[in-house]
Structure 1
Amino acid sequence: MELFAVPDIPEITDGDDLAAVIADRVEVTPDDVVCVASTIVSKSEGRFADLSAFPAGPRAREIAANLTELTGDDKDPRFAQAVLEESVELLMEAPFLLTETRFGHVGVNAGIDRSNVSGHDLLLLPKQPSKSAARINEALPCKGVVVTDTCGRPFRHGQRGVAIGWAGIPASRDWRGQPDRDGRELGVTVQNVIDELAAAANLVAGEGAGGTPVVVVRDFEFGELPGSENHFREIETDYVRQALRDWEYSG
């Protein structure tokens, strides 16, 4: 397959038609998967916010005071309030805020962005990224759309691209029941395809001020294996998350 960034994407504002912006700059084909950074999806959906919109409650003030004491950096309780309001569960409150968003993604600070948000304090993640992906997918003649973000991973340094929304292609492909090279049947291997596409796209899109938030993946073949929409792990099998519920930061 081939990956390339779509050139000359303009600054996106509330109400912009992302599918039209993309189609004006690249000829999308039925063999393409289009990876779109959540940043521009959020901007097109007006997910800008200012700290003044999040007056801090007692819980947010407590969290901010604790983080200020731990880190030595002054933490704004209004930001903590924004994180709480964008989350359904606070998994860690020190030494940083790890939360589950309202659509199931687990990440730091509910994915709230404070960079490249001219004229505002914050940029929130899309409310329903998979529905956003579906709207773009319906308007473009492509195989699928993946809404991407960057986040860190346990046990690894740095960040990488991940999928937070998708449409048109399954989230994962199931290798269970397939033989390995020695004929042994695979019992647990389920490949998260949309995360792998998001990570590959992030290598092309880059970070910071690059201004290339859309990447086309051309000629990707899902193959004949069964696919599923399983992406975010269920709490019943997420043993790390279960452990975090009983863990407290000791400093």
Structure 2
Amino acid sequence: MELFAVPDLPEIREGDDLGALIDDRVDLRPDDVVCVASTVVSKVEGRAFDLDDFPAGPRAREIAARLSEISGDEKDPRFAQAVLEESTEVIMDAPFLLTESRFGHVGVNAGIDRSNVPGHDLLLLPERPSDSAERIRSGLSADRVLVTDTCGRPFRHGQRGVAIGWAGMAPARDWRGEADRDGRELGVTVESVADELAAAANLVAGEGDGGTPVVVVRDFEWGDHGEHDAHFRDVDGDLIRQAVRGWEFDE
């Protein structure tokens, strides 16, 4: 398997044809997987906003005041309001905001970015990343597209790439019913291929001002395995979310 960044992409702006920009710069193959950072997808879709676009309500002011007290740094209630408006559930409101986005992704601050947003204060995640992936795919010579983001993981330091949208492929490879090396039947193994490819792409894409927003994965083979469409856990089966819901931060 080979991964390489798409070279010479310009600064992406609202309304740009992202698929055409990619296709013009690399000779794609049908079975390539094109991994596109959510940052540029959001820019194309006009998801850049200013803090003044989110007048703070009482709940946002309450959250910002408490977070300011905990951290010792002033927190803008307009930012808290933006997070609330982008979320279907606030799972934890201290010592940071952990929420579920409107498309099912759980992350800090609803994935709202405050960097790489020239002329604006905030960059929100795409509203429906899998629809975004499908639109990008329609303009490409490749059949598979992932929209990626970065986020942290409980119990570990640092961030890594994850997939938040996909088109032309299932997000997971289903090993259930197959045998391990000792002949035992696998009963629970569902491999999050989309996240693994996103993490590999993030190694190539990099971070900061030297980062590149699109990476091509070449010669990835699915193999003779089943597909699984689930990516975000159902609320009723998410034991970690249920535990966090009942937890309160002790200052």
1:224 shift after superposition: 1.6
What is the Cα-based RMSD across aligned positions, in Å? 0.7
Alignment match, 1:131: 131
Distance 2:211 2:187 in 1: 42
Distance 1:171 1:31 in 2: 15
Amino acid at match of 2:32: D
Alignment match, 1:162: 162
- Contact 1:4–1:216 (CA under 8 A) maintained in structure 2: yes
Alignment match, 2:74: 74
Alignment match, 1:214: 214
Amino acid at match of 1:201: A
Distance 1:206 1:214 in 2: 10
Deviations 1:10-36 (A, max 9, x none): 110000000011011111111200000
Distance 1:50 1:197 in 2: 32
Alignment match, 2:10: 10
1:228 shift after superposition: 1.7
Amino acid at match of 1:89: E
1:65 shift after superposition: 0.2
- Contact 1:9–1:211 (CA under 8 A) maintained in structure 2: no
Size of the alignment, in residue pairs? Answer: 251
Deviations 1:86-108 (A, max 9, x none): 00000111111000000000000
Deviations 1:55-91 (A, max 9, x none): 0000000000000000000000000000000000001
Amino acid at match of 1:80: A
Alignment match, 1:25: 25
Distance 1:150 1:49 in 2: 20
1:142 shift after superposition: 1.1
Amino acid at match of 1:67: L
- Contact 2:23–2:141 (CA under 8 A) maintained in structure 1: no
1:246 shift after superposition: 0.9
Distance 1:28 1:249 in 2: 49
Amino acid at match of 1:64: A
Alignment match, 2:203: 203
1:207 shift after superposition: 0.6
Query: Unaligned stretches of 5+ in structure 2?
Result: none
1:159 shift after superposition: 0.3
Q: Is 1:118 matched with 2:79?
A: no
Amino acid at match of 2:134: A
- Contact 2:92–2:98 (CA under 8 A) maintained in structure 1: yes
1:143 shift after superposition: 2.7
1:211 shift after superposition: 3.7
1:245 shift after superposition: 1.1
Distance 1:227 1:37 in 2: 24
Distance 2:229 2:181 in 1: 27
Query: Unaligned stretches of 5+ in structure 1?
Result: none
Alignment of 1:48-197 (within 5 A): 48-197=48-197
Distance 1:225 1:112 in 2: 35
> Secondary structure, in 3 states, of the residue corresponding to 2:207?
coil
Distance 1:180 1:74 in 2: 53
Amino acid at match of 2:241: R
Deviations 1:215-240 (A, max 9, x none): 00001111121102110011121100
